[in-house]
Amino acid sequence: MLQHPPAPPVISRSTAVLLMGLLALVTASFYSLAIKWGELFSADALRSGLEFIAGFAPPELAGPFLLKIAGATLETLSMSALSTLIAAALGIALALPASGRMGGALYAITRLMLNVLRSIPELVWASILLIAAGLGPFAGTLALAAHTTGVLGRLFADALENLPPAPETTLRINGATPLAAFCYAALPQILPQLMSYTLYRWENNIRAAAILGVVGAGGLGQMLKYHLSLFQMQQAASVIIAMLLMITVVDGASFWLRRKMTGS
Amino acid sequence: MLILLWPMLVFSEFKPWILFEAQSLQASWQFLASFVPPAHSGEFLQLLMVATWQTVAIATAGLTLALLCAIPLALLATESLSISMLETGRMRLAGGLIRQAARWLLVLLRSVPELVWALLFVRIVGLGPTAGVLAIALTYGGMLGKVYAEILDSSDVHGTETLLKNGSGRLAALFYGALPEAAPELVSYTTYRWECAIRGSVVMGFVGAGGLGQRMDESLKMLAGDEVASMLIIFVLLVGAADWVSTSLRKRLG
Amino acid sequence: MSLVLRGLCVHHAQAAKSALDDVTLSIAQGEQIALIGPSGAGKTTLLHTLAGAIRPASGEFSAFGTSPWKLSHAGRHQLRARFFLAPQTPPLPPRQRVVTAVLAGCLPQWSFWQAISSLIRPGDADAASDALARFNLQDKLYARVDRLSGGERQRCGLARLLVSQASVLLVDEPLSALDPALSLQTLNVLQQEASNRCATLVCSLHQVELARRHFPRLIGLRDGQVVFDAVRDDVTDAMVEALYQNASGITAGADVTDLMAGARC
């Protein structure tokens, strides 16, 4: 007769603590927020919600309004492109010290700077920069550039740090200046990577630029906020549709480009 | 290059000199000067702690609801659990239609930016965290659902297929074949999204969805630099902490 | 006859040649059959077709007196519980515990809730342990699958067969990762289990000698066609040699003469 198998091992203590912690976090979140489920699913809320949604139809399609939307879309695209360009330039400038090429003190300072730039979202940057740059797309451009500089600077710095150092040191030993050695040895190696990071961020920034206007920083978001606050739902609906269209087109274009690049 | 750049500069009203006009210089300087020292009265710090917790709670609750909506949709959208796919390499008509519908729903949910969802929900349910939770639930439900389906489709399906071929049910095959195969990737993506949701919930506060963002918006409107400064510090620390938690969790799995 | 194939053809998607071409077979309940033939002959496809996992392009297939492909979707899936298909590479997720991987063989019989609760607390650890013990793997019960060696993993996949309640066992090259001694032991366990529960055993093998020694009936398959289907005593060395000669497009002889002809010019 075969003996009984041993009992299954209990789960490890750290896993148990982790799971309990997760459960506690979720429960505490729901408990402390006191979400108004009742109001959300009451007949009253349902009716007003449906009314709200019905207010969107039909979207405003008058010629002058569409022109305004087109203008705002161009504004959004310009903001994203310009800010990405600025961020790429500043990102490289900051990535040099942040890759440890200019000593430990500068390394620590620039890394901290990049982290702060990166961890504050575009929208928060925008609402702070509004004070210096005034309402409008310029503040939005600066805000996008600030956040993107943090993101790109860190990616660039990591790419530079992971580079095999041999080609650059060889040039340095042969008497080239540090900048020349960087331009001739390091830059050509990481350029494709930098390009692809920058393009990827541009795609991201188009989405971000579309909503930045909600705090008054230009683009489609500003129109949306404006019409929503006046309860002009049909205009708001057109703006939302324009946003969705723009995002879809950009997504499709980048998917197509990527497939082209990897396919060939 | 210039031809492209010029209209861009015009459209984005790129006028850096504005920054250096006496008036705006003065305003910026006053505002920046009031950053030091950051506000640190006991009462304010307590308020800040409550707001910070609310931000984390909105992100967590929103993500939990997002999971509830993402999991069933991902199961509908994935191809790895289709029995008819195994038999003939094609899906039955009804199954294919349901799958397409689930995919379109996921696309719709995640294409609308979370901030726009938040703006709409603030109009429906009023100011406060409920709007933020719902906005995160919808957007992140769409993102998680799409990526879950992709992970399930791209991971090794040999185990799942064999279970299905031997006659086990679809959900049982999911739990005994597909999930053990893909679990680390699924959990790691979910933690990453939790980190994003914390950032998102701060941003949504600016349209009135509660938490740290709403407080920051109020302080900014009053040009209370000292309060803004302490909020920024707290915010950078919070994002850093969420980043640390999510990377260490992912490392544990990997 | 429990399994009958008549004029059966199977095409794989995106393949020019058909994987099975006009196969006619009948198999009685409780028979033990070895399936031999060169690589790419269609052995795996035949096993999958018998399991009702691949839809044949033409011909007839009936199992237990019904035709699976005339049943409803759900009815066909229910019928699959009576078959057990063990693929050549063990279908075990690397991060699963062995006990869970083995008990996955019970899934067709279990309700969904039984399946879920067994993930937390193994539903029938005794059965899993007994099954593993027959392959000398009982000490691996709670190990993780990715800690097993290739041979252990293969036998762990076969232990799943022992806990299943299927009455037709379709095993694809069960010995490919095993040394000769283990091969013999594993084959014995499979054959014993099949005769204990009066199950049909169809087993594809590359070890022709083992097949001729242990199986009463052999089926030779090549290029998707049945070359011979005979009882053990009727299979001659010449038949086996012909089965494997110049197999699967390797026409070495022709190439060499061509080269020689070229060199002479």
Q: Does B32 touch chain C (CB under 8 A)?
A: no
* Minimum-distance CB partner of B168 among C87, C107, C116: C107
Burial C98-121 (b: 16+ CB within 10 A, else e): bbbbbbbbbbbebeeeebeebbee
Give the whole-angstrom CA distance, residue B167 versus residue C84.
Answer: 9
pLDDT tens for each residue of A144-196: 999 999 999 999 998 888 888 888 888 888 888 878 888 888 888 888 888 88
Give the whole-angstrom CA distance, residue A37 versus residue A159.
Answer: 48
Verify whether the Cβ–Cβ distance A82 to B9 is below 8 Å: yes
> Chain C residue with minimal CA distance to B162?
C91
Verify whether the Cβ–Cβ distance B113 to A78 is below 8 Å: no
> Chain C residue with minimal CA distance to A4?
C126
> Chain C residue with minimal CA distance to A11?
C120
Q: Which residues of A touch B7 (CB under 8 A)?
A: 74, 78
| Residue C260, pLDDT score | 42
Burial C233-253 (b: 16+ CB within 10 A, else e): eebeeeebeebbeeeeeeeee
> Chain A residue with minimal CA distance to B211?
A33
Q: Which residues of B touch C55 (CB under 8 A)?
A: 87-88
Q: Tokens 């390797």 label which residue?
A: C250
| Residue B111, pLDDT score | 84
Torsion sign over Cα C24, C26, C27, C32:
negative
Tell whether pTM > 0.95.
no
Let me know: does A121 contact A62? Beta carbons within 8 Å. Answer: no
Let me know: does C129 contact A2? Beta carbons within 8 Å. Answer: yes
A window 128-187, beta carbon within 8 A of B: 128, 131-134, 136-138, 140-141
Q: How far is B100 from chain A (nearest CA, A)?
A: 18
Test the A interface: residue of C142, C144, C147, C163 with most A CBs within 10 Å: C142
Q: Across the B/C interface, how many CB contacts are shorter than 8 Å?
A: 86
Test the B interface: residue of A123, A147, A151, A206 with most B CBs within 10 Å: A123
The region, left, alpha or beta by phi > 0 then psi within -120 to 50, assigned to residue B156 is beta
Let me know: does C199 contact C28? Beta carbons within 8 Å. Answer: no
| Residue C194, pLDDT score | 93
Structural domains of chain C in order of their starting residue, each with its CATH number: 3-250 (3.40.50.300)
Test the B interface: residue of C92, C145, C170 with most B CBs within 10 Å: C92
Give the whole-angstrom CA distance, residue B195 versus residue B211.
Answer: 16
Which uninterrupted H or E stretch holds C168? Answer: strand C168-172
| Residue A3, pLDDT score | 61
Let me know: does B66 contact B136? Beta carbons within 8 Å. Answer: yes
Chains that touch B (3 or more CB pairs under 8 A): A, C
Q: How far is C107 from chain B (nearest CA, A)?
A: 5
A window 200-229, beta carbon within 8 A of B: 207, 210-211, 214-215, 218, 221, 224-225, 228
Q: Are strands C20-27 and C3-10 parallel, antiparallel or unpaired?
A: antiparallel
* pLDDT in 10s for each residue of chain C, 265 residues: 689 999 999 988 777 778 888 999 999 999 999 999 998 888 999 999 999 888 888 889 999 888 888 888 888 888 898 999 999 988 898 888 899 999 999 998 888 898 888 888 888 888 999 999 999 998 888 888 989 998 999 999 999 999 998 999 999 999 988 898 999 999 999 999 999 999 999 999 999 999 999 999 999 999 889 999 999 899 899 999 999 887 655 444 444 444 444 443 4
What are the strands of the beta sheet with C200-204, ordered from one edge? C83-86, C168-172, C200-204, C32-36, C217-222, C225-231
Residue type for position C231: V
Which uninterrupted H or E stretch holds A178? Answer: helix A178-181
Superfamily of domain A65-263: MetI-like (1.10.3720.10)
Q: At what angle are helices A63-98 and B2-11 packed, to 10 degrees?
A: 110
Q: Which residues of A touch B9 (CB under 8 A)?
A: 78, 82
Q: How far is B162 from chain C (nearest CA, A)?
A: 7
Let me know: does C134 contact C159? Beta carbons within 8 Å. Answer: yes
CA C212 to chain centre: 17
Q: Which residues of A touch B116 (CB under 8 A)?
A: 211, 224, 240, 243
Quick check: B141 pLDDT over 50? yes
> What distance, in Å, lies between the first and last C-alpha atoms of chain C?
61
* Minimum-distance CB partner of A36 among B14, B60, B125: B125
pLDDT tens for each residue of B115-138: 888 888 888 888 888 889 999 999
Tokens of C254: 């022709």
| Residue C252, pLDDT score | 44
Confidence of residue B147 (pLDDT cuts 50, 70, 90): very high
| Residue B139, pLDDT score | 93
Let me know: does B38 contact B223? Beta carbons within 8 Å. Answer: no
Per-residue CA distances from A218 to A74, A126, A147 (Å) = 11, 10, 17
Give the whole-angstrom CA distance, residue C123 versus residue C102.
Answer: 11
Q: How far is B83 from chain A (nearest CA, A)?
A: 30
Q: Which residues of B touch A240 (CB under 8 A)?
A: 112, 116
Give the whole-angstrom CA distance, residue B31 versus residue B28.
Answer: 5
Q: What is the mean pLDDT of residues B61-81?
A: 92
Verify whether the Cβ–Cβ distance C142 to A6 is below 8 Å: yes
A window 28-47, beta carbon within 8 A of B: 28-30, 32-33, 35-36, 39-40, 45
Domain ranges in chain B are 41-253
Q: Which residues of A touch C117 (CB under 8 A)?
A: none
Verify whether the Cβ–Cβ distance C87 to B84 is below 8 Å: no
Test the B interface: residue of C72, C107, C170 with most B CBs within 10 Å: C107
Chains that touch C (3 or more CB pairs under 8 A): A, B
Q: Does B222 touch chain A (CB under 8 A)?
A: no
Q: Tokens 């650059």 label which residue?
A: A168
Confidence of residue A59 (pLDDT cuts 50, 70, 90): confident
Give the whole-angstrom CA distance, residue B243 versus residue B196.
Answer: 9
Verify whether the Cβ–Cβ distance C91 to B92 is below 8 Å: no
> Chain A residue with minimal CA distance to B206?
A215
Q: Which residues of A touch C126 (CB under 8 A)?
A: 2, 4-5
**Segment B214-223 long-range contacts (CB within 8 Å, at least 24 positions apart):** B214/B51, B214/B127, B215/B47, B215/B48, B215/B51, B216/A124, B216/A127, B217/A127, B217/A215, B220/A127, B220/A128, B220/A131, B223/A131, B223/B30, B223/B31, B223/B34
Architecture of domain B41-253: Orthogonal Bundle (1.10)
Q: Does B124 touch chain A (CB under 8 A)?
A: yes
Residue C143 phi/psi, 5-degree rounding, is: -75, 165
> Chain B residue with minimal CA distance to A34?
B130
> What distance, in Å, lies between the first and last C-alpha atoms of chain B?
45
Cβ-Cβ contacts under 8 Å for B152 (sequence gap 6 or more): B74, B78, B80, B81, B178, B182
Q: How far is A40 from chain B (nearest CA, A)?
A: 7
Verify whether the Cβ–Cβ distance A123 to B14 is below 8 Å: no
Q: Does A86 touch chain B (CB under 8 A)?
A: no
* Minimum-distance CB partner of C115 among B86, B175, B181: B175
pLDDT tens for each residue of A19-51: 898 899 999 999 988 777 776 777 777 787 788
Let me know: does A98 contact A117? Beta carbons within 8 Å. Answer: no
Which uninterrupted H or E stretch holds B232? Answer: helix B225-253
Tokens of C119: 């993930």
Q: Does A124 touch chain B (CB under 8 A)?
A: yes
| Residue A26, pLDDT score | 93
